[in-house]
Structure 1
Amino acid sequence: MTGDQRERPEVLLATTGRLGRITLNRPRALNALNHAMVRAVDAALRGWADDPAVTTVLISGAGDRGLCAGGDIRAIHRDASTSDGTATAAFWRDEYRLNARIARFPKPYVALMDGIVMGGGVGVSAHGDLRVVTERSRVAMPETGIGFVPDVGGTWLLARAPGELGTHLALTGAEMTAGDALLCGFADHHVPAAALPALAADLAERPAAEAVARHASPAPPAPLAAARDWIDACYAADTVEEILARLTAAGIPATEAAARTLLGRSPTALKVTLAAVRRARRLATLEEALEQEYRTSRACLTSHDLVEGIRAQVVDKDRAPRWRPATLAEVTDAEVARHLPGDDPDDLGLTAPERRPDKRS
């Protein structure tokens, strides 16, 4: 690798016509977010919010594999396993505040959710105003597979998906197609991948909604729509144990596959995730969900499963995590409650007087 390649900025910023462009630029890492990238995106949005020359903001990912595969979990693993997790907590704090800024940004914020969009990639896209998926989109919140819990406002989005679709997606980490993302409220429009360059060019000259409408087309059918009956029936249960029992008893290939997936996930992460999504249904704002997620994420930093999950899936890649506790029965209510404390202050500083109405409400 040459020096020029090593020094290439990880976030590219540009203005073209009336458009402010943000490009996540770590294609070899699937544009995974690190702290410096979060700060760069946040600074750009703060500057463009008051710039009359910029009327629309567009975010996309470099390369042809996706917008963003999530946070840099290798860095999180290093910090959590060799230090006290302070750096990761600081990263999450700024990341979640960025997610809130995107949701309240005063100008149209357009996200090209092409290819892989997972975890932190959802956070920088699915809280925007015009969220565009393509036939290549693969959208997911796969955190339970690494002993973690959906964050970046994911619990807010999952809690508002139709029926129990959000519960299914949260616990299994299943990928959504373009149609699924539209059905579940993670996206607004489908545009063929081949039309994205033309869409970006139009955004520089036209109002955002008009530009997107010029290129939008019907999405392929949503596979999750056909699965609503068994998903709603099985995931309406009050506990992960009962959800597993219902999936097993249903006795069809799809439910058996879902049950096998859950049995491979962190038992603690499953129970905390179910509690977090159910609590998020009762919250009034995205900011409240982000505050809850920040407390949950910091609790995960002190747990065994987050470090072990990243080790197994990303570092050693043996795909054989040794969860502790190893079974759902061993995960106590007290341990779940430790991840969801109820009386913490507003650690993110997203206080009620600063909140504006949700632009999609």
Structure 2
Amino acid sequence: MSSDVATEAGELIVAREGAAGVIRLNRPKALNALTLEMTREIATALDAFEADPKVALIILEGAGERGLCAGGDIRGLYESAKAKGDLGKIFWREEYIVNARIAQFPKPYVAYMDGFVMGGGVGLAGHASHRIVTEKTRMAMPEVGLGFFPDVGGTWLLSRAPGELGTYFGLTGLTANGADALAAHMADVLIDTVNWPALREALTKLSAGTDATALMTTLKKFAAPEQTGPVTAQRAQINRAFAHDSVEEIVAALEQDGSDFALAAFKAMSDKSPRGLKVTLKLLRLARASKSLEECLSREYLAALEVFDSADFVEGVRAAIIDKDRNPKWQPPDLKGVTPEIVARYLAPRDVALTF
């Protein structure tokens, strides 16, 4: 691998390879989980690559064989929340600004979403101009299981999926394979991983000024045959059950449906944070009527600060990641206890704002 410009091999590797500015997440043992320091380094790299006339496009990729990025550094946020610290306020502000920067980036930005792509990984890849998935892609926004909601612009992306696919993925936290991600408009091209080295080399040889259309033509030369994902095959059921504007109605519709698929979705929702479910649905519906990613990110930031102050986030992380007992004690423990007043707190104005 030739590299004209490169950083030391730390948690983020930044290099120029031919015409490509490469950003490689480099925490493979942590499934490339994103830290505040990495977020800042990505912002610096984007500035440098934008200014470099030799860089025609960006390539985002992850080190190791397991995936692009499993999300944000949840342990660090957990420790800060327990200590009543301010890491959440700082990290999410800088992360969301980078998410918007990616969406606005003036040069093509190619995200290689092989393996696991979750949470913060979706924020780095889902707003790219060119999003590649593979037969190994496992994309998810599982935040409701942590008393959270799909952030990093996830409400914008999910709300723009056809029908209710986005509502399904947001409320269940279940995984989309490459074909499902494509159908949900969370990706643009599906390739077989065996073809990535050749495609990657072709990208590094593109000329400066290559436009988005020409780049997409290059990507599609490597595309796998069209296929239907297992979730997409159930779109009719999903559209019926998840079209409601209350979580209670969605749950009732799944129970009434009674099919294996519907009951699996019901089961996936049943152990999630009740307040996380209701806040997620509210944010998804608001995002559907929103006019920009930035509007959604600003709303998500306010909601994230309330999450950081809530007991459910600490409890959700404890049960899933720290103690791993998979037995969270949610507050309130059921949907009935999550009143409109509780949900409204996640949307209330604060004396903070994002500047894009």
TM-score, normalization by structure 1: 0.92
**TM superposition shift of 1:344:** 4.8
1:63-119 Cα deviation digits (max 9, x unpaired): 0000000001011100001233x1121011000000000000000000000000000
The one-character-per-residue Cα deviations of 1:224-273 (angstroms, maximum 9, x if unpaired) are 22211111111111211111111001111111111111111000000000
Alpha-carbon distance, 1:8 to partner: 4.3
2:220 and 2:239 map into 1 onto residues whose CA distance is 33
- Cα 1:74–1:121 change in 2 (3 A) is same
Please give the alpha-carbon distance, in whole angstroms, between the structure 2 residues aligned to 1:323 and 1:71.
22
Distance 2:182 2:225 in 1: 10
Deviations 1:166-199 (A, max 9, x none): 1111000110011110011110001111111221
With normalisation by structure 2, the TM-score equals 0.94
Look up the match of 2:136. 136
Moved more, 49-58 or 191-200: 191-200
SS state at 1:317 partner: coil
Please show how residues 153-192 of structure 1 align to structure 2 within 5 Å: 153-192=153-192
Q: Runs of 5+ in structure 1 lacking a partner?
A: 1-6, 351-361
Confirm or deny that 1:276 pairs with 2:283.
yes
Aligned to 2:19: 18
Alpha-carbon distance in 1 for matches of 2:232, 2:24:
32
Q: SS of the counterpart of 1:223?
A: coil
Question: How far is 1:219 from its partner?
Answer: 4.3
Counterpart among 275, 287, 295 of residue 288 in structure 1:
295
Q: Which amino acid is the alignment partner of residue 271 of structure 1?
A: K
For 1:339, which of 308, 331, 346 is the aligned residue? 346
- Residue 304 of structure 1, aligned match among 301, 307, 311: 311
Equivalent position SS for 2:55: coil
Matches within 5 A, 1:232-247: 232-247=239-254
Match for 2:223 among 216, 228, 250?
Answer: 216
Moved over 6 A (4+): none
Cα pair 2:174 2:268 within 8 Å, conserved: no
CA RMSD of aligned residues (A): 1.3
The equivalent residue for 1:151 is 151
The aligned counterpart of 1:60 is 61
How much identity, in percent, do the aligned residues show?
A: 47
Q: Matches of 1:205 and 1:214 in 2, distance apart?
A: 15
Count of paired positions: 342
Please name the residue that 2:45 is paired with. 44
Letter of the 2:83 counterpart: T
Q: How far off its partner does 1:346 sit?
A: 7.0
- Per-residue CA distance 1:322-356 (angstroms, 9 max, x = gap): 10100100111000000112x45771113xxxxxx
Alignment of 1:114-125 (within 5 A): 114-125=114-125
Deviation at 1:216, TM superposition (A): 1.9
